Structure 1
């Protein structure tokens, strides 16, 4: 069962993603919050970021680093690839 702290953490995550988003948009991309559970944040890159060969570097050394600094409850940030149906 999800508690108040979980929802507060999700709100903090979304707030931090909003601060990261303008730089990604400037480069033709974006980021989408997918899920947060058990210390793991899942995000999806959109636009140019979804196809960028360097997105794993952006994820690890920009997004994950910044999120973990601001929100210690987040232990890891993973990318969820967009599936084509």
Structure 2
């Protein structure tokens, strides 16, 4: 079934860009991308279907290796 609007798959593997400040402690914590539209309501202006996948636990960039690349390929293939 083809949709008339584009879709975006956001894959979060880990890192600072996926962190959010805890308002009580000020510490950075992992952001739950399932709540992306709640925290970034401006995205609703676009006529995109936005899906997300996040590694659990997040992977440090120094631990990114070919097996992780293969996992990303499988995630893209499954969601395509």
User: With structure 1 as the length reference, what TM-score do the two structures score?
Assistant: 0.33
Q: Relative contact order (alpha carbons < 8 A, sep ≥ 6): 1 or 2 greater?
A: 2
Larger radius of gyration: 2
Higher helix share: 1
